[in-house]
Structure formats: C-alpha cells, structure tokens
Amino acid sequence: MTRLVLPLALLGVLVLPGAALAAPVKISPRASAISKAGVATVEVANPNRFVLRGTATVTVRARTIAKRKVRLPKRAVTTVKLRFDRQAATALRDAAGRATIKLRLRRSGGRKFSARRTLTLRAAPGGPKPSVPGDNGASNGGQPAPAASSWVGRMGTEGPYDDLELTLGNGQIQLTKVPVVPVSCFEMGGFFRSALSFELFDAPGPWTIGTDGLVAKQGIAVNQLVSSGARTINYKATGTSQQPGLIAGTLGMSFSDSRYDIPTNSITFINCAGSQSFEAVPAG
C-alpha cells in the first residue's frame, strides 16, 4: 500500500494544472428589456478554449418561468435569447422584475460548469419601429426618413437597441450612453491564466464616421487578472459607416499589466484586448 500512495499523490498534482486552466463562465449583469414579443437577451461569456453546451433557466422566487438549451462557442460572448409567456411575464411583474438566471453546462466528454446571476428584467416601453437599412423610406410611403441627431444602438447584431446612445452631427458621432465591451486578458507566463470581463468603453468621442480613431486615456479595468489601479487604456473605433437609417462600426479596447513574483524573482506580463461590432438606428 505504501508504494501506491506516492504515485497517486503525484497523479493528483499532475491533474491540478489541467483543472486550473478552466475559467468560470460569466453572465452579464445587464439584460435587455423584455420586448412586446416576450423576448429578452443577456450576454454570456465563455473564456475557455472549448465549447460548452447545456441549459439556461430563469427562476422567480424559486419557480422556473423559462428554460432553453444553449451553446457557448469557445472564447466568445454569446447573446442568449430568453422567451417569456404571459404567465412568466406576470410572475416577473409581481417580483418587480427580479429573476435569477442559472446556467448548467458541460464540456463534451469533460467536466460540468455552472453560473448564476440575479438581475432585473423589465418590459420595454413602446417605441418606434427602426428604419430598414437601404429601403430609403419605402416603408413609410416612399419618403426618405428625416435625418435624426439622436440614435440608439446595440452591441452585436441581435437584441433591442438599448446598449448605447449617440448623437450625430457633421459626420461625427458622440456617445451619450457608453456600452461595455468584452475583453480577454492572458498571462504571458506564470500560470498562463486567462479571464474575460465586460469593460466600460469610456471614450465618448467625438468619432469621425469613415475614419478609424484611437484614444488613450487613464481608466480602471475590472478584469480579475489585472490590478485595481488606474492604467492607460487604448480605445478604438474602426470600420464606422453610415447608411440610410443605420450607423455601424466596431468598438475595441486594449491595455496591459505586469505582476512581480517574489518567490521566483520573475515578472509576468498580462495583455488584454477585445472588440465588438455595434449598430445604431434613429431614436424617436
């Protein structure tokens, strides 16, 4: 028996690094308002190097009101659609919109993952129907839509237009409500860990449409791999364009950090970057 103890102990040590590489799945603290069709969306980040599959469940006061299957691609932020029937909407209203989203996931042939977040889901107020890109006003009697200085937008290409707000003037956009951008950080040494976070795009502009822009300023990052102090963060707006009833582009950011390890007398560098497309339509 004594001869078996050492190999088993060593086996346990060898297994630990593989498990340490698995990063937790994160649910965004912000969900979209519930549309008139009973649909809300929430972003889920999978920072791992493998696909995860499972179920998303929404509960109100320990009662399940919605459930669906989900697939989370590797190292990506996925917009998960949640559908609520009339009874579910009533339960949410009675609970002032407070609900808990639970994820039960599994890697193919591997370990199980879980995540949960309690947030507020609210019904969206009635609003105008967005213009259809490229129709030049055909949907409103053949008259071109009037130019609008105020716009509402979303990150990605799905879900309601409530992630950002901007104004348009003289070919430039100014963010009046800044969104969050998914950012991945990677250790270039040490334990080679990675972590994903949703960082505030704290650079309202102005940004010139059709011209790539870069702004560097001091800011705070919330990623768990970097320190909590202020650092230089690079904000970018690229690929911006304007069509009738639509403004689109990509918002990105990057920053770095380093950590000194006294026992090993070594420095681990941490690089962070992320970007996501956006699109905006006239408000009101």
Question: What is the rounded CA–CA span in Å between residue 245 and residue 132?
Answer: 7
pLDDT of residue 4: 40
Taking the whole predicted model, whether its pTM rises above 0.75 is answered as no
Question: What is the rounded CA–CA span in Å between residue 90 and residue 84?
Answer: 10
Structure tokens at 22: 């698995």
Element (H, E) at 18: helix 2-20
Please tell me what DSSP assigns to residue 157.
S
Q: Which domains does the chain have, with CATH numbers?
A: 23-120 (2.60.40.10), 147-282 (no CATH)
pLDDT of residue 124: 61
pLDDT of residue 21: 55
Q: Which residues contact 86 (CB under 8 A, 6 or more apart)?
A: 38
Sheet bearing 52-60, strands edge to edge: 63-72, 52-60, 98-107, 112-120
pLDDT of residue 125: 54
How far, in whole angstroms, is CA 265 from its chain's centroid? 36
* Beta-sheet pairing, 207-208 with 194-200: unpaired
Question: What is the rounded CA–CA span in Å between residue 226 and residue 177?
Answer: 26
Helices and strands counted in the chain (H then E): 2, 17
- In the chain (284 residues long), the average pLDDT of successive 10-residue segments reads 39 40 78 85 83 94 92 83 90 90 90 88 56 43 54 89 92 93 92 92 93 92 89 95 92 93 87 95 85
Please tell me what DSSP assigns to residue 256.
E
Element (H, E) at 46: strand 39-46
Question: Tens digits of per-residue pLDDT, 193-227?
Answer: 999 999 999 999 999 999 999 999 998 899 999 99
Helix, strand, coil percent values for the chain (each to nearest 5): 10, 55, 35
Q: What is the CA radius of gyration of the chain?
A: 22
Question: What is the rounded CA–CA span in Å between residue 231 and residue 128?
Answer: 41
Please tell me what DSSP assigns to residue 262.
T
